[in-house]
Chains A and B, each alone.
Chain A
């Protein structure tokens, strides 16, 4: 292997890794607030690209039906609780949140996104469609399961993934898509040819992760969310309900997935079932970070991306064997070194 091959592989690994970083960050975030390992995050990424592609070919994306179906289900669930209580405010809220808002987005998606619309507008609507799926999934699947064991939540997350996968095949078909990207000539830095898309992925991922960081460190709502992560009951005492926290964090997850989907859509082919393997790589990163430490999760995700690129070159038939066996020593080191601080202090 020559040095320039190594450099190209490194670049490829880092670009793949950048997407995993965003994924890992979101997975850690969701986990720390809700104890859910959100396996379907990858599916949402794939759905974004598939949605955008449908707009590009002038079709109504299946996501619209998924959104309407999910919103109706969520609204019914919410009303079933609110109506017997005669809680007017809650009824109104649920009608707005799960009725009017999704309906509005759906109407826009069906009628106001012609094939000739500018790319940015198509991207925005795709983002909105997918980001709204996040809170719906939370309402339908996870809110009724709050306070279950992490294992049960994980199984529910996997079930959600299977369901989304099945819907994805039904709505989008088995074939893949490659969306339009910000075209432009590749440029060169230190003698490496960098495509603009690759640079865009990297930059956007960094911006998204920093944005998440700022949101959770500086904004009041973000800090409140983190508070629920540390002490649920305490947070409830100061007026942040678990439900609000869950909904918000799932919305953030949906948004991050949408951004990731727009980023990688033009660099590769995405399928209805691409999400699982993407999610898995993000999951590896998240766990290297102990489901808690963001920088380590990011480092883990980058490591996965890079090892993957090099393993593809060295022994492609055994790539996943190499990637996953190399992870194990890292896991071992992390597990042994992160024994929870002795609770010996009274």
Chain B
């Protein structure tokens, strides 16, 4: 019942919005039209800032770009506003691709500031451009027309904007629910998850940048033909800050937050004047003080924004989701013959400045085998791990995978070749469900691109990918947690979830970085069973672990490291008997 209601909620909202103009005064319709235009722009910002984590101080410039391109085409060249829309989208994509190519490589504050730089530049370039009307503005922009009907009145433009908002919203929801969307949603935690599972994080960041710009340009197009006048001020730095405001107040990671934030900010700004007039008289100039105060209080009460705050108040439990049928992947990778060497490393070395973290380490691991790596803290295990998995470049040494030498290793490349890993500190996307997290692991198995994922042409593939993820959740014993947010799972479950995600990429080699850390005894037993059965299927497993009992019981062979060097390598009983190990490691531990 609730599930159906929640699924219907957007349709109910749309119906209500469609009926609203019949009840409201013309002015209120106008204000809501502006709210919805701002909401469209904010959806772009939600994608870029809220979901991918790239803070933009230049979003209004893309809104302005869309507005001015269409404004120019429809006034100076007298083209139809619909061609203007096409022009706006093309121009915004091109500009964003160009700017983004440089910008998305930057991190954090650098990126934020460089968007600010572009935003300010846009303002002054337009303000000094004769054909765009300079600071005085561009007048006489025609309204959008459908057939012979010109959309001039408040109610007509309202419906135009409402339809645009609904389409953009539906598009983004669809996209975020797809393979592409899952990668985008993982990027706020950094590029590591995406890269580990075969996605080019930089390209996806660029994609988000371009999408945000295109959505912004659509908002700008709406603005141009509703307002029918353009000047640079609505696209300056203040406007960019306003959009950021709306997005954060609404809940920056939430599409619906964009609507809520845009509505709240716009309506407060418009209505505050009337309210304050009653208190302070007609010549008040304190609107912004009260506006700021309201915003600060909202932030203090609801740090993640209003939408998450309200939805938690209204529906404290997670919304139930339709269960997914488990399926096994149709085309699985051919597992190498049992006992074949999957990975071999010889004389690996990695230095950080003058410090040698990994020094002349050689080993190999075969399919159907568990190789344990042991060593005290600081022995270089994790560094070694990162060298193999491609997270770090090596300083010296050779690596080969399934008999092929690896000259340059990248995390992405290793994933595509059939290696998968977990992290010492569980690297899950906290606000995605367990199922979606696992599905990220299968990213490189999908083929549907942006277009298919936008237009819902991906249903067969989605059923495959999510079914496969569900299958793995069942396999690791987390099927009942499929729709829980990863962040709400216990530490033990998070570690198991990481293994499921690693398996989702259908690897031949699995690297596990301290999977048993933080697990209770019974959980460890379940984990051991799982690893045993994976080994029986012919998977090669490298296991870095502190828990010696666990490793000695599971591993077929062991490598012991200390001070970055390999001090022993062989069967568990051999290693246990090794004098060097006794002295350097076991002795210490005992």
Contacts and interface: CB of A to CB of B under 8 A. Distances in A.
Contacts of B249: 155
B244 interface: yes
Interface in B507-525: none
Interface string B242-265: 001100110010000000000000
Contact of A328 (B109, B117, B128): B117
A291 interface: yes
Contact of B113 (A165, A167, A287, A336): A287
User: Which of A324, A342, A346 neighbours the largest number of chain B CB atoms within 10 Å of its CB?
Assistant: A346
A346 B295 contact: no
Contact of A162 (B106, B288, B380): B288
B296 A166 contact: no
A167 B114 CA distance: 30
Contacts of A335: 105-107, 110-111
Nearest to B245: A155
The interface centre, meaning the residue of B55, B109, B287 with most chain A CB atoms within 10 A of its CB, is: B109
B117 A162 contact: no
B352 interface: yes
Contacts of B55: 151, 154
A290 B303 contact: no
B291 interface: yes
A152 interface: yes
Contacts of B334: none
B554 to A, nearest CB: 22
B200 interface: no
Contacts of A148: 299, 303
B573 to A, nearest CB: 27
Given A290-B109, A332-B106, A345 B244 contact: no
Contact of B128 (A145, A318, A331): A318
A28 B128 CA distance: 34
B378 A345 contact: yes
A344 B106 CA distance: 21
Nearest to A344: B383
B293 interface: yes
B386 interface: yes
B53 to A, nearest CB: 9
Interface string A112-154: 0000000000000000000000000000110011001101101
Interface string B492-510: 0000000000000000000
B378 A155 contact: no
Contacts of A345: 352, 355, 357, 378, 383
A320 B350 contact: no
B292 interface: yes
A332 B117 contact: no
B113 A284 contact: yes
Interface in A321-346: 321, 324-325, 327-328, 331-332, 334-336, 339, 341-342, 344-346
B248 A332 contact: no
Interface stretch (B84-92, B118-126, B158-166, B178-186): B118-126
Contacts of B128: 317-318
B275 interface: no
A328 B114 contact: yes
Contacts of B295: 155-156, 159
A47 interface: no
B117 A344 contact: no
Contacts of B288: 162-163, 165-166
Contact of B292 (A152, A154, A166, A291): A166
Nearest to B134: A317
A221 interface: no
Contacts of B111: 335
B286 interface: yes
A334 B110 contact: yes
B346 interface: no
Contacts of A165: 288
Instruction: Name the residue in B55, B105, B285, B300 with the highest tally of chain A Cβ atoms < 10 Å from its Cβ.
Output: B300
Interface in B373-432: 377-383, 386, 391-392
Given A151-B252, A320-B121, A344-B382, A166 B286 contact: yes
B12 interface: no
A325 B299 CA distance: 33
A342 B293 CA distance: 42
A279 to B, nearest CB: 12
A170 interface: yes
B289 interface: yes
B373 to A, nearest CB: 12
A274 interface: no
A134 B107 CA distance: 30
B378 to A, nearest CB: 5
A328 B285 CA distance: 37
Given A145-B299, A166-B289, A346 B117 contact: no
Contacts of A319: 124
Interface string A295-329: 00000000000000000000001111100110110
B517 to A, nearest CB: 13
Interface in B78-116: 102, 105-107, 109-114, 116
A253 B289 CA distance: 22
A342 B300 CA distance: 35
A160 interface: yes
A166 B285 contact: yes
The 7 closest A-B pairs by CB, nearest first: A163-B292, A166-B288, A324-B117, A335-B110, A335-B106, A166-B289, A159-B295
22 contacts: A140-B296, A152-B248, A152-B303, A155-B244, A156-B299, A158-B245, A159-B295, A163-B291, A163-B296, A165-B288, A166-B287, A283-B113, A287-B113, A317-B124, A321-B121, A321-B125, A324-B120, A331-B113, A332-B105, A339-B107, A342-B392, A345-B352
Given A162-B291, A166-B287, A318-B125, 10 more contacts: A155-B244, A159-B296, A162-B292, A166-B285, A287-B112, A321-B125, A331-B117, A332-B106, A335-B111, A345-B357
Interface of A: 140-141, 144-145, 148-149, 151-152, 154-156, 158-160, 162-163, 165-167, 169-170, 280, 283-284, 287, 290-291, 317-321, 324-325, 327-328, 331-332, 334-336, 339, 341-342, 344-346
Interface of B: 49, 55, 102, 105-107, 109-114, 116-118, 120-121, 124-125, 128, 241, 244-245, 248-249, 252, 285-289, 291-293, 295-296, 299-300, 303, 350, 352, 355, 357, 377-383, 386, 391-392
